[in-house]
Chain A
Amino acid sequence: MCRLFAVSSDTPLSPMKALEALDTMREGHDGSGVGLFLRDLGGPLAAVKGSPILSGIFTEAGLKKLDALMMDIGFMTKYRMGIRLPATPPAGTPKRDIYLIRAYDYPSAWETLSETEKHRRLMETRLRLRKMGEAEGDMIVFSFWPDVVMIKEIGDPLTVGRYLDLDRHGLTARVILAQGRQNTNYAINLYACHPFFLEGYATMTNGENTAFIPVKEFLESRGFEGYMGFQSDSEVFVHILHYMERFLDLPLEAYKHIITPLPDAALTAHPNARLLRTLKQSCRKLIIDGPNCVIGSLPDGSVFMAQDSKKLRPGFVGGKPGIWGFSSEVCGLDTVIPDRDKTKDFQPMHLDMAVVGPDRKEVTVCRQTDRLSRQV
C-alpha cells in the first residue's frame, strides 16, 4: 500500500522532513520507491521564482539531446542545481547519470505571449522531451513549471533522499507532497510513480482506482494532449482536477462532487441539487471507484485531501496556523508537527474534503452535503 505525506508550511522545509515522516509509516509501505513534489520553493531556487524549472533524470547522451533542443527553442539556463552522487547507489536503486533540476529563462520570442500560452508551451515542451526520451530511455521528465521541482526514484525513500543528499543543496519548499512506493499495480516505471503533475496541478493517491479504464478513455477523448501517460490508474486524479478547473471553470469544492458524486437520494435533498445532478450526469465518466485517499496541490498553493465514497483508506490532517500536514498515518504528522494540538486532528470521511489554503491559517472542510459557494 502507498503511504502519503504532504505539508504546507510558511517556512520552507527540506524534503528530507517529509521523507522522515514517510519513514515512520514504514509498516504501511514497502519502501520500493519515492516521489516528491515541491512547490513554492525556498533556498537558491527562490531567486528564480518566475522561471520554469525542469525536473527529471537524464543520461549523459540524454542531456546532450536536451541541451540541443532547449537551445533550439531558445531556453537559456538560469540556474542549475548540481546533485553529486556517491559512486554506488543504494541497493535496489538504479545507477543514473544526472538528476536534473534546472531553471531556464523563457525564450525571448515568448516574451509577448500571455501566461496561458506560455504555460501551454511549457507543457508541450515537457511532453516533447518525454516522448524523445521514451525511445532510448535516456530522458525521464517529471515537470517543467515555474516554482516546481519533482524527484522520483526507485528505492527506499529515506535512503534515496540521503543518497541524493537533498539537504545539502538547500532545496526547500513551502508545499511538499511525498509518496513512499513505486507503483506496483502495473509495470515498474517511474512515470507510474506518484505524485503526478500537469500544468501546475499535482496529486498523489493511496489506493487503486477501479474505474480507471472508462475514466482514462473519457480523458483521452477530450482532445487535450496533456491527458496522456496513464501508466498508473491514479494518474487520472490529477487530470480530473485539471479538467475541472481549466475546462469546466469550477473551484476545488466541486472536485469531490465529480469523482464521488452523492447518491441520488442525498443529491435530491441538496440545496444545489440541480447543478449537482447536471454535474453528476455530464461527468459520469469521471466518477472514480475503489479505495482512494487523494492528496493534491493546486497552482495557487492550496493543498487538499479527499476520500473515496466509502472512505476505504486512512488519512489525517493536522497542524497549526503556519504549518499543516496531510498524512496517511498520524505518526507522520507527529514526526513533522509534534507540537500541534492533536485533539484538533481531522480525519476526512467519505463526504469530506479538507483544504488548507495558500494562507495556511486553517483547515477548511468541504462536506458534500453543504451548500456550494457562490463561485460554483
Chain B
Amino acid sequence: MSANGQIIPSSLSISDLPWQIRWNQDKCTLCGSCTAVCPVNAIELGVFRKREITAGLGLAEKPASSQTIRYGIRQRTSPAYACVGCAMCSMVCPNDAILPERNDGGDKLRFHINQGGQPRSRGGRRNDPAGLLDQIKFIRISMLTDPALDAGRHTFELNTLLGRVLEPRDALKHQREHGWMPPVREIYPLVIGGMSFGALSPPMWEGLQMGVAYLNEELGMPVRMCTGEGGCPPRLLRSRFLKYVILQIASGYFGWDEIIHAIPEMKEDPCAIEIKYGQGAKPGDGGLLMWHKVNKLIAAIRGVPERVSLPSPPTHQTQYSIEESVAKMIQSMSMAWGFRVPVYPKISATSTTLAVLNNLTRNPYAAGLAIDGEDGGTGAAYNVSMNHMGHPIASSLRDAYLNLVKVGKQNEIPLFAGGGVGKNGNLAANAAALIMLGASGIQTGKYIMQAAAGCLGSEQDRCNICNIGLCPKGIASQDPRIFRRLDAEKVAERVVDLYLAFDMELRKILAPLGRSTSLPIGMSDALGINDFHAAERLGIRYVV
C-alpha cells in the first residue's frame, strides 16, 4: 500500500486473495512476459524503492542514508484485478521465477467481488471437486461361470442409438407396411456436448470438427458433436461433414436464420437437432455470450449486431406450456428436415425431470432426452447459479430410466446424460457408470476442453474467465491475438487421442463384466457403491 493510500471496506491485501503470486527476484530476468500474458492484469511492473542506511564504526564517518531502486513484479489487490490462478505467468516465464499459489487461509475476495452491485459472474463449473460418479465401482466381475473377455483381442459393439426407437411390434408393422420409421442414428456413446461457436474460439471449433471428422472417416468411430446455441459456420452447413453435427436450437435462436436458409443447399442431413430448454451449469437461466466475444464473424453467424451481449431468455418465449414447448417445437423441427432427422430436447436435471419425460413418452416424434446435471460447465453464468442451482445427474437419470422401465419404453426414448462426467479425469468410468444406470449415451464438454485444448479451469475456482473473452489458452476467446495460441491441428490430434483412450478404457471396464455384444445400458447389477443411502436411492448394491 502506498504511503498516501486509503483503507476502504473492499481494500484487500495480498493475503486476502485466493491466489497469491510467488515471485523470485533471483531468477527473474525482468523480461516482462508474465505481465504481458496475464489475462486479468493481476501483476504489473513493480518499482521498489529501498532505503539503505550505512553507519561506519568510527566517529569520522557519519551515518548516511541512500535509496536503491529495483524492478520486479507487483500483485494487484483490487477485486477487479485479482489473480485467477491460471498460471500462464509460470508457463511463459523463461526462468520459472513466478508462480501463483492457492491461499489456504480462506480468501476475503469472495465478499467483495460484487462491486457496483453486480454479483459475480464467470465461466467454468461448479466449484466442488467431489462427485458421486467417482464413488461408483464395477463389482460384477466375470469369474469362472462366465469368463471375462479380452479388451484387446475381442470385438466390442459399443455404439448406441439416438432417435425414437419403435416398440418391436410397431417397428415390424411399420416395416411391413412401409410406414414412417422415426429416424435413428447409430452413434458412438460419447458425444461432445453443446459448446457454441462464439463461446469457443475459431481454432477450438475447427479443431474439434477436424478431430470428429478424422474419428469418423479414418477410424470408423461415429462420434458426434453438438453445436451449442450459436449457429454453425455456413461452409460446414453446406458440407458433407454436417452429418457428424448435432445442431442445437435454444431460446435465443441464435444462428437459426442462417441454418434455415441453408437447408435447401445441405448435402447431408445433420445428425440430430437438440432443443435446449435447460443447462446443468445454470438451470433455469439462459445462455449468455458477453459483448467481448461478439466480433464481426460471430455476429454474422448468429445474425446479430457486433459487440452487444447476447443473453438467451431463460425459456422459449413463444411458448407457455410443456405441450407447446416440446411437442410443437419437436414437430416443427422434424418437419423442417422432412422427418428424416431426430429431434430431442435437452433439459437440466431437476426434481421435475419425470414430468418432461412422461410428456415425451406420449410424443411419437420425440427422439430422446438429454439430461444435464449440476456439474455441467458453461461459458458464462452467475456464480450463484453455478455453485448452488441444479440437480445431480445420477439420481435424475436413474429416476428417468426406471420410469421408462415402468412404462416399458426403456428402449424407445434414449436418455443422454451429462454434467460432470470426467470432472476428475475419470471419463470412461463415469460414463460407464451412467450407462449402467440407464443412459444410452453421454455428453461431455469440460473434459474435452481440458484434454483436447488444455483448459486450465478446475473445480477449485481456477481461471474460470471464459465469459470475458480472455481465455489464456485461446479456447474461449474471439480475440485473434489470444486465440492464435491454439493450433487447430493439435486440438484435432488430442480429440482423436482422447477418444481412442476412452474407447480402450471403456472396453477395459466392459470386458471383465462379460459384456461385448451391446452397450450395457441399465446393467445396474454391475454397480456398487460404498454409501448405503446412495445405493438405496440408485437401486444398486451397497458394498463395503
Contact = CB atoms under 8 A, between A and B. Distances in A.
Interface of A: 1, 184-185, 207-208, 210-214, 217-218, 221-223, 247-250, 260-261, 263-264, 274-275, 278-279, 281-285, 287-291, 308-310, 312
Contacts of B523: 210-211, 213-214
B245 to A, nearest CB: 21
Contacts of A283: 168
B172 A278 contact: yes
B166 A211 contact: no
A274 B172 CA distance: 11
B232 interface: no
Contact of B408 (A210, A211, A223): A223
Contacts of A222: 408
B217 interface: no
A264 B161 CA distance: 12
Contact of B171 (A281, A288, A309, A310): A281
A290 B186 CA distance: 23
B517 A221 contact: no
Contact of B525 (A213, A263, A289, A310): A213
The CB with the most chain B CB atoms within 10 A, among A274, A279, A284, is that of A284
B169 interface: yes
25 contacts: A185-B145, A207-B146, A210-B142, A210-B146, A210-B513, A210-B523, A211-B517, A213-B523, A213-B525, A218-B408, A221-B408, A223-B408, A247-B168, A250-B172, A263-B155, A281-B184, A282-B171, A282-B411, A284-B518, A287-B517, A289-B520, A290-B514, A291-B147, A291-B514, A310-B149
Nearest to A312: B147
Given A208-B514, A217-B522, A282-B171, A264 B145 contact: no
The CB with the most chain A CB atoms within 10 A, among B157, B406, B524, is that of B157
A211 B171 contact: no
Contacts, number: 111
B165 interface: yes
A246 to B, nearest CB: 11
Contacts of B149: 310
B517 A289 contact: yes
A278 B521 CA distance: 19
A217 to B, nearest CB: 5
Contacts of A248: 168-169, 172
Interface in B124-152: 140, 142, 145-147, 149
Contacts of A291: 146-147, 514
B515 A289 contact: yes
Contacts of A184: 145
Given A214-B520, A214-B522, A282 B145 contact: no
Given A263-B155, A281-B184, A285-B411, A211 B147 contact: no
Nearest to A208: B146
B358 interface: no
A70 B375 CA distance: 60
Contact of A214 (B140, B142, B154, B521): B521
A263 B157 contact: yes
Contacts of B166: 278, 282
Given A210-B142, A221-B405, 12 more contacts: A208-B142, A212-B525, A217-B405, A222-B408, A278-B172, A279-B171, A281-B171, A285-B410, A285-B521, A289-B518, A309-B516, A310-B149
Contacts of B161: 281, 284
A221 B411 CA distance: 11
Interface in B499-526: 513-518, 520-525
B167 interface: yes
A278 B514 contact: no
Contacts of A263: 155, 157
A275 B145 contact: no
Nearest to A221: B408
Contacts of A289: 514-518, 520
B33 interface: no
Given A1-B145, A211-B523, A214-B521, A310 B154 contact: yes
From DSSP, what is the main secondary structure of chain A's interface residues?
A: loop
Contacts of B171: 278-279, 281-282
B175 A278 contact: yes
A8 to B, nearest CB: 28
Nearest to B161: A281
Contact of B146 (A221, A264, A278, A290): A290
The CB with the most chain B CB atoms within 10 A, among A184, A185, A247, A290, is that of A290
B179 to A, nearest CB: 11
Contacts of B521: 214, 285
Contacts of B165: 281-282, 284
A210 B149 CA distance: 12
B405 A274 contact: no
B181 interface: yes
Contact of A290 (B142, B167, B406, B411): B142
Contacts of A211: 515, 517-518, 520, 523
Nearest to A254: B172
B405 to A, nearest CB: 5
B184 A260 contact: no
Contacts of A308: 517
B159 interface: yes
B159 A264 contact: yes
A290 B155 CA distance: 13
B407 interface: yes
Contact of A210 (B169, B405, B514): B514
B146 A218 contact: no
A291 B524 CA distance: 20
9 closest A-B pairs by beta carbon, nearest first, are A221-B408, A208-B146, A282-B171, A210-B514, A287-B518, A282-B168, A214-B522, A290-B146, A290-B514
Contacts of A223: 408
A282 B167 contact: yes
Contacts of A282: 165-168, 170-172, 411
A247 B145 CA distance: 32
Contact of B175 (A212, A260, A274): A274
A291 B155 CA distance: 14
Contacts of A213: 522-525
A214 B154 CA distance: 22
B410 A221 contact: yes
Contacts of A310: 149, 154, 516
